[in-house]
């Protein structure tokens, strides 16, 4: 009976951590991305954050890339479609809407508003974001912006 209680409390702790991590990711998109509150990054992201998509590490690297993103897509907005958490990871399926106002991967500003999808995997350590892996539908986005033609 005691073993079951310990197992139950471990499950409850894991579920609480998963919910807390999901709430942190909600804040990440709502406050950092949508509200442009980069000053909150230090509260959410570890100093030695590893951003696998950007091939860079560190909070300052994240802030630099964040500012680059805002120069290219100044009105970007994120809408969370799904959040799934297990253990120390949270997966977010997100829809982004933005206008390309700056050069992106060699393509000139299209000045068109576009919607595209993405998925991010976040790993947490001590309640903060430690790592991130990113997948975006950039091909679909570039087609919608008129940079690529559909064969």
In this predicted model, what pLDDT tens digit does every residue of 65-124 receive, in sequence order? 999 999 999 999 999 999 999 999 999 999 999 999 999 999 999 999 999 999 999 999
Of the pLDDT bands very low, low, confident and very high (cuts 50, 70, 90), residue 13 is low
Output the pTM of the full model: 0.87
Q: Which of 130, 120, 115 is nearest to 53 (CA)?
A: 120
Q: What CATH number matches the domain at 2-144, 3.10.450.50, 2.90.10.10, 3.30.470.20, 3.40.640.10?
A: 3.10.450.50
Q: Is the per-residue pLDDT at 10 higher than 80? A: no
Token couple for 118: 């993405």
């Amino acid at each position: 009976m005691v073993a079951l209680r310990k197992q139950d409390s471990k499950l409850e702790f894991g579920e609480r951590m998963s919910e807390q991590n999901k709430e942190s990711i909600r804040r990440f998109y709502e406050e950092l991305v949508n509200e442009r509150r980069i000053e909150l990054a230090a509260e959410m992201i570890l100093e030695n954050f590893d951003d696998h998509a950007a091939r860079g590490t560190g909070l300052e690297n994240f802030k630099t890339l964040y500012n680059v993103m805002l120069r290219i897509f100044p009105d970007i907005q994120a809408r969370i479609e799904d959040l799934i958490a297990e253990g120390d990871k949270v997966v977010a399926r997100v829809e982004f809407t933005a206008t390309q106002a700056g050069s992106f991967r060699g393509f000139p500003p299209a000045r068109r508003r576009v919607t595209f999808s993405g998925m991010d995997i976040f790993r947490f350590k001590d309640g903060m974001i430690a790592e991130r892996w990113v997948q975006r539908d950039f091909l679909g986005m570039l087609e919608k912006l008129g940079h690529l033609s559909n064969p």
